[in-house]
Structure 1
Amino acid sequence: MATAQDVAATPPAELEPLATSSQTGSKGDEGGDGEGTSGVKLKKELGLTEGIAIIVGIIVGSGIFVSPKGVLEYSGSIGVALIVWGVSGLLSTVGALCYAELGTMIPRSGGDYAYIHEAFGPLMAFLYLWVALVIIMPTGNTVIALTFANYILQPLFSDCDAPPDIPVRLLAAVVICFLTWVNCSNVKWATKVQDIFTGAKLLALVIIVAAGVYHLATGNLDNYQKPFEGTNWEPAAFATAFYQGLFSFAGWNYLNFVVEELKDPYKNLPRAIMISMPTVTIIYFLANVAYFSVLTRTEVLSSNAVAVSFGNRMLGVMNWTMPFFVACSTFGSLNGGIFASSRLFFVGAREGHLPQVLSLININNFTPVPSLVFLGFMTVFMLITSDMHILINYISFSESLFILMSIAALLWLRYKEPNRHRPIKVWLGFPILFFVICLFLVVLPIIQRPIELGVAIGVIIIGIPVYYFAIYREDKPKWFIRFTEKVTFTTQILCAGVPEEKDE
């Protein structure tokens, strides 16, 4: 076992080669807990319960409390908005089943990165990693942190339409830093936080659904008299409405990022997906039925905190519970997002597509501390803006594009390697359907918001010269090599970090 003195004495040029996915096999790969494995590496500490908690905990975060406004705004009517919510859940379930095939066929952490790399090579995999680094992961976590701050501060500024911007950003930064520290300290702490707050957020949604059912049962059906009035039938608007709805289901593929830490992944990955996705879809649909039964279309569109507005109307003196439960929900979702997305950067660095410093593991806690700290920094940096709906559009477009590529990878590998071992093999119609839907979601919104999404496309294009200079090019400048070595060596000392060790 490496010691802190060993870390300090190991210059970057002498670091052991990083373990590849094929070298990370252990007792845990066969369903064990991984405690008996030797070496410094990520441990298999996630069972079925933790897997369900990660999926549900990440999905049920800010989206269900923010996106109802966006879905209704772009769909135009309550009826179509409910259809968007139901279809979004079904599509996410189909996508999750496709990822179950990918995750058991290519049982490596990193999710989309691993699948795109396997099918289309290093450049396309790097571009996904680049966009995830710059846009998808930090921006998604920022949206959740801002939602947490908005809801927890709402009772303190009840006379205002929304809390002041500066306190919201400061509180969001604090919670990001705190949960980054938790994830750096102990994997079991992080998963325990996930388990507890998943229960809290589901309780909040159960309260919303129960109150809505009671409201409807007492004859309050006025808001459903003309459910399709005002529908916006433009295809681009439909695509944007689905962006907002699918954002609320974002996270269904995050368990694939941590497959190497999942006990018996061939069984627990598909089981976690099949338990989590129908549960979330049903709860989301019923929650929106409840929202629209109590709040009029105008009230939903004018509210920055739909669940709080709902609580103020239905819960009386207990209306303070709704901001509290929503804060718990977003807190748990942010924790899960930090846990899973940091592993993507760890895997990318291990494969040589990000600086080696991000592949270091703390020798005491077996956590990827540099990757977590870097993700925390990027997430705090995204607080330069607090406009969550613009952030959601950036995330949704980028994610849709690379999910499209992952599904294309599944179809390509079906054609190229038809006899490859697939513990799970979904009906071919599922990936074809999901591919077409993702293509629709990528192309149409560009027509409606070319400038906004042009920024995301520009970030992707910038990744090509970055790949050439930092990854593909062998004769890198000496100053660049010396700089990266110094950064790696300094980080080793500060974080007591070493590369992942190979099995003997």
Structure 2
Amino acid sequence: MEAETQPLLQAPYECREDSDLARTHGRDDLPTAIPAKSLSWTSAYILVVSRVIGSGIFATPGSIVKSSGSIGLSLLLWIGGTILAACGMAISMEYGCMLPRSGGDKVYLEYTYPKPRYLASTLVAVQAVLLGFTASNCIIFAKYTVFAFGGEPSELTHKLFAAGLLTLITILHGCFRQTGIWIQNVLGWLKIFLIGSISLTGIWVILLRPGGIEMGSGGAAAAAAVKKGDFVAWDTLFEGSNWSWNLLSTSLFKVMYSYAGLNNVNNVLSEVRDPIRTIKTVCPAALLTSGLLYLLANASYFLVVPLDEIKQSGELVAALLFDRLFGPRVGGTLFPLAIAISAAGNVMVVTFALARVNQEIARQGFLPWGDLLSSSRPFGTPLWGLIVHYFPSLLVITLPPQGDVYNFILDVEGYPGTIFGLAITVGLLILRYREPYLPRPFKAWLPAVWLRIAVSFALLVAPFIPPPGRKGDVEFFYATYAVVGTGVIVFGVLYWYVWTVLLPRWGGYSLEEEEKVLDDGTAVKRLVRV
């Protein structure tokens, strides 16, 4: 960040006479003012990369290998997930270039599906509030911190550390905006360095074969194959593969979760300098960075840690890697602590973006106490949007028992996310047919759009296909996460019907949009009773 940047939400909006969005797009439902820009290309890149590279690559490989059963199938899942992530990224880039304003998926769904009136907005609001938590990365921070300091890994200790991190970051972003942005930028670069270190470990093992490392049978075979020049040792890489679509789908959810955030800059586009150029370059750069590092990191795990240990590692596979390479003092303390800090950086960028999404939702009247929750006072930050984000995350951290809670959180977040992703992807085709005149500085490749549609349908059906032994990657009913995720969508529909249809009918009023300028200079359209 540059020292002279203006406050993100307190700065006045600057009207653009020659490029007004409403005139450009021929629509009157877009704002006619754009906020003063304060995020440079570098800050936008860190905002995306630091969101993408979170706990996923440090915590999910063990679960993915356990579900897939083999190194080869696990790597195929990571490659497939990367391709799907690229398809989703291209779709978000087309939307972002068409509608360059903050709000992300909420803006795109509202624009694409104006009828039934307010349904899309209500569903996004319910999903953002109920499932827009950062509990998973807080849990990873707690587990790696306790591991690094050799503490007793009790459930209470993990919950206290996780809740403490969430509270600290909420206060930091809510009261000290510039400091919070500076810290998350620093942690973002630290994260890139850390995942780069993990990724280069595999190359180091292959080239130097350091003594004293007891590699697993699969990893040893892979290393031997590479040394001979045979890069695909099919006879060993796919031994024990489990091709159950139910288990593979949950693994794909986890891989795609590891890429979640490639569209993070879309949530704050109104605050980005030259948003169209930025989104066209930042997102592919972040995908290339994370994709390459992820594949190399997985190779490092397989080359150093025995396969059986990876399957039993839970969320601590990266800690096992460094412990085996550098011993308990350096590898078992410093690097796990760095991973914990990396997870904390991810929590920072997620709360930074989601607080602004919550603020946009409140500004339009989809949350109670809209004037309060949408205000940027007293610190020029979305403090109340942070608080809306804080409490669901805190409940998810403190109430459920530990154990399978991390995997369950990832699956519950992923399922409704896939539903929304499918709606947005289909909506892109609808918009191309309905409004072909819209300027599209970037256009997603059509086969990528259809591929995402097909895979999304398959992923939504997969959880209800019984896995072998009717046992998934958690101890309870294998389709629980799909039931819970669907339940959130159903709750959103019921909430919309009661709020926009039933109550107005009983109360003799209607909901209409009203132009309003907030105390921070933001012009919004808010729902009011008429």
TM-score of the pair, normalised by structure 2: 0.80
Q: Does structure 2 conserve the Cα–Cα contact (< 8 Å) formed by 1:62 and 1:330?
A: yes
Q: Percent identity?
A: 26
- Matching residue's letter, 2:393: T
- 1:182-197 superposed matches below 5 A: 182-197=172-187
Equivalence for 1:336 = 349
1:415 aligns with 2:433: yes
Equivalence for 2:140 = 147
Equivalence for 2:255 = 245
Q: In 2 relative to 1, CA 476–151 (structure 1 residues): closer, same or farther, beyond 3 Å? A: farther
- Structure 1 position 471, deviation (Å): 4.0
Equivalence for 1:215 = 205
Q: Which structure dedicates a bigger proportion of its chain to helix?
A: 1
Counterpart among 377, 391, 394 of residue 391 in structure 2: 377
Equivalence for 1:464 = 493
Q: Does structure 2 conserve the Cα–Cα contact (< 8 Å) formed by 1:360 and 1:500?
A: no
- Matching residue's letter, 1:371: G
Cα distance in 2 between the residues matched to 1:276 and 1:106: 21
Q: In 2 relative to 1, CA 243–455 (structure 1 residues): closer, same or farther, beyond 3 Å? A: same
Counterpart among 391, 410, 420 of residue 409 in structure 2: 391
- Matching residue's letter, 2:350: G
Cα distance in 2 between the residues matched to 1:340 and 1:157: 33
Counterpart among 320, 338, 350 of residue 363 in structure 2: 350
1:132 aligns with 2:153: no
- Matching residue's letter, 2:420: F
- Structure 1 position 264, deviation (Å): 1.3
Equivalence for 1:89 = 82
Equivalence for 2:308 = 298
More off after superposition, 201-210 vs 321-330: 201-210
Q: Does structure 1 conserve the Cα–Cα contact (< 8 Å) formed by 2:358 and 2:388?
A: no
Cα distance in 1 between the residues matched to 2:189 and 2:168: 21
- Structure 1 position 361, deviation (Å): 2.5
Q: In 2 relative to 1, CA 418–24 (structure 1 residues): closer, same or farther, beyond 3 Å? A: farther
Q: Does structure 2 conserve the Cα–Cα contact (< 8 Å) formed by 1:223 and 1:296?
A: no
- 1:101-500 superposed matches below 5 A: 101-121=94-114, 122-135=118-131, 137-138=132-133, 141-157=134-150, 163-218=153-208, 222-224=220-222, 226-304=236-314, 305-316=316-327, 317-319=329-331, 320-355=333-368, 356-357=370-371, 359-383=373-397, 384-385=399-400, 386=402, 387-448=405-466, 449-472=478-501, 475=504, 498=519, 500=521
- Matching residue's letter, 1:468: Y
More off after superposition, 188-197 vs 447-456: 447-456
Cα distance in 2 between the residues matched to 1:202 and 1:421: 35
Q: Does structure 1 conserve the Cα–Cα contact (< 8 Å) formed by 2:262 and 2:287?
A: yes
Q: In 2 relative to 1, CA 166–232 (structure 1 residues): closer, same or farther, beyond 3 Å? A: same
Number of residue pairs the alignment of both structures matches: 451
- Matching residue's letter, 2:122: F
Q: Does structure 2 conserve the Cα–Cα contact (< 8 Å) formed by 1:109 and 1:256?
A: yes
- Matching residue's letter, 2:107: A
- Matching residue's letter, 1:501: T
- Structure 1 position 341, deviation (Å): 0.9
- Structure 1 position 108, deviation (Å): 2.4
Deviations 1:93-112 (A, max 9, x none): 22112101101111222111
Q: Does structure 2 conserve the Cα–Cα contact (< 8 Å) formed by 1:404 and 1:435?
A: yes
Structure 1: which 5+ residue stretches go unaligned?
Answer: 1-18, 31-39, 479-496
- Structure 1 position 363, deviation (Å): 3.6
Q: Does structure 1 conserve the Cα–Cα contact (< 8 Å) formed by 2:425 and 2:452?
A: yes
1:49 aligns with 2:42: yes
Cα distance in 1 between the residues matched to 2:523 and 2:462: 46
- Matching residue's letter, 2:130: V
Higher relative CO (Cα under 8 Å, sequence separation at least 6) belongs to 1
Cα distance in 1 between the residues matched to 2:350 and 2:505: 34
Q: Does structure 1 conserve the Cα–Cα contact (< 8 Å) formed by 2:14 and 2:34?
A: no
Is the partner of 2:381 in helix, strand or coil?
A: coil
Cα distance in 2 between the residues matched to 1:143 and 1:477: 42
TM-score of the pair, normalised by structure 1: 0.84
More off after superposition, 446-455 vs 384-393: 446-455
Deviations 1:18-41 (A, max 9, x none): x9xxx96546998xxxxxxxxx99
Cα distance in 1 between the residues matched to 2:349 and 2:488: 26
- Matching residue's letter, 1:318: V
Q: In 2 relative to 1, CA 112–444 (structure 1 residues): closer, same or farther, beyond 3 Å? A: same
